[in-house]
Amino acid sequence: MTTRIPAPQGIASCKIPARILMGPGPSDMHPRVVAALGKPAIGHLDPAFVQMMEEIKVLLRYAFQTGNSLSFAVSGPGSVGMETCFVNLVEPGDKVVVCRNGVFGGRMIENVQRFGGTAVVVEDTWGEPVDPQKVADALKAHPDAKALAFVHAETSTGAQSDAAALVGLARERGCLSIVDAVTSLGGTPVLTDEWAADAIYSGSQKCLSCVPGLAPITFSERAVACVRTRRQKVPSWFMDLGLVLEYWSAPGGKRTYHHTAPVNSLYALHESLVMLRDEGLENAWARHRLHHRALKAGFDALGLRFVVREEARLPQLNAVHVPTGIDEAAVRKQLLERYQLEIGAGLGPLAGKVWRFGLMGYSARAENVNLCLGALADVLSGQGIQADKGAALAAAQAVYTGNQA
């Protein structure tokens, strides 16, 4: 007798609360992006969809500041963008210098190792940017290195490294450069061609304020040539650029089916990139700086200390030390339950020691900054910390009144 699984009971359509997202990602989505998600689904080979794909490529070249023809969105989150870069560029036996100053440099190391490469690790303290001198020394000690990989904007700490200097060192040594711009694209300058970077990947859910699940990438002609001259077949079928590009960039516009693209998510990405184009990159960068300065002024008034020194600090990811004696998880829980405000916890060695506040894309607004400062002051006061809510809000307002980005 066949045993059948009974239909589950007690489950209805899900009800999702409205949150204010000020963690390390995802960020708040603009209403225009949300509306784009609701457009009618069409086939992923429909001529109208193909035209939109072409426009996404053009818009991404603007966002990345590049003329690279190979610029498109991988169907998957930023982690899939990362893996796409490594699986196509790293072969067994290749040596890659990898910089680790947080969680995501560590993931780069694992990618190199999983694809048969050898990772030469350049270590820096969490919260510090990558040290160019250490990189120069590593490249000199390993002249056979094929590539240099580093995180431009380390989401786990809020530290921003000098991409121009690091890519320049790679070029001097004849290495490819692989750059993680998941948290920087759209929030701080990502200047692919000016840096002469070879492979950069990002994510849709951070400063682009889009739905999670897409990974913009761009490859230089030098990187494309490396893919074309591989000794071995790319070990991932799904992420093999030689196959994916038959869908995204087939000669003559005749695309070959590779996978069913996330149609509605790409509508949303298109809309977010149109909005970025309309705002202008320089204005978007200035907006993130402005709201960071206001949030910082409020944090200073509350006595909170940043993890990253000012000159290396990301405006869109603000990590601060948890005050002594405070239950950091309880603070996050109260902010979520009482104010519908999400902030992030620390990772790795910073777990339980820091909070991470995101100011990404549509989340970078004055009303979010003011809500965050007021709510945080209330919750900290409830835990016995002297937190002057009025002073924090006044300090932020002073920045806005000055209105200097």
Domains of the chain: 32-277 (3.40.640.10), 280-402 (3.90.1150.10)
Q: How confident is the model at residue 258 (pLDDT cuts 50, 70, 90)?
A: confident
Mean pLDDT of 161-176: 98
Q: What is the pLDDT of residue 403?
A: 60
Q: What is the pLDDT of residue 103?
A: 97
Q: What is the pLDDT of residue 119?
A: 98
Q: What pTM did the predictor assign?
A: 0.95
Question: How far apart are alpha carbons 26 and 360 in whole angstroms?
Answer: 8
Among the ranges given (245-249, 312-316, 350-354), the one the predictor scored with the smallest mean pLDDT: 245-249
Pick the closest to residue 126 from 99, 165, 149 (CA basis). 99
Among the ranges given (39-48, 58-67, 128-137), the one the predictor scored with the smallest mean pLDDT: 39-48
Q: How confident is the model at residue 22 (pLDDT cuts 50, 70, 90)?
A: very high
Q: Judge whether residue 15 has pLDDT over 90.
A: yes
Q: Which two tokens stand for residue 274?
A: 């149109």
Query: What does the pLDDT look like over 317-364, one tens digit per residue?
Result: 999 999 999 999 999 999 999 999 999 999 999 999 999 999 999 999
Q: What is the pLDDT of residue 405?
A: 45
Beta bridge partners of residue 256, listed in sequence order:
none
Question: How far apart are alpha carbons 380 and 383 in whole angstroms?
Answer: 5
- Between these two residues, 1 and 31, which has the higher pLDDT value? 31
Average pLDDT, the chain: 95
List all residues 6 or more positions away from 281 whose beta carbon is below 8 Å from its beta carbon. Answer: 62, 63, 65, 186, 189
Q: Judge whether residue 251 has pLDDT over 70.
A: no
Q: What is the pLDDT of residue 253?
A: 63
Pick the closest to residue 168 from 204, 205, 118, 130 (CA basis). 130
Q: Which two tokens stand for residue 153?
A: 């904007």
Mean pLDDT of 4-31: 95
Scored b (16 or more CB within 10 A) or e, 110-124 reads ebbeebebbbbebeb
Give the percent of the chain with pLDDT over 70: 98
Q: Judge whether residue 404 has pLDDT over 60.
A: no
Q: How confident is the model at residue 164 (pLDDT cuts 50, 70, 90)?
A: very high
Mean pLDDT of 163-190: 98
Q: What is the pLDDT of residue 115?
A: 97
Query: What does the pLDDT look like over 189-227, one tens digit per residue?
Result: 999 999 999 999 999 999 999 999 999 999 999 999 999
Pick the closest to residue 325 from 270, 383, 379 (CA basis). 383
Q: Judge whether residue 277 has pLDDT over 70.
A: yes
Question: How far apart are alpha carbons 151 and 85 in whole angstroms?
Answer: 13
- 3-class state of residue 131 by DSSP: coil
Q: Which two tokens stand for residue 204?
A: 């849709």
Q: Which two tokens stand for residue 162?
A: 């000098």
Q: What is the pLDDT of residue 402?
A: 87
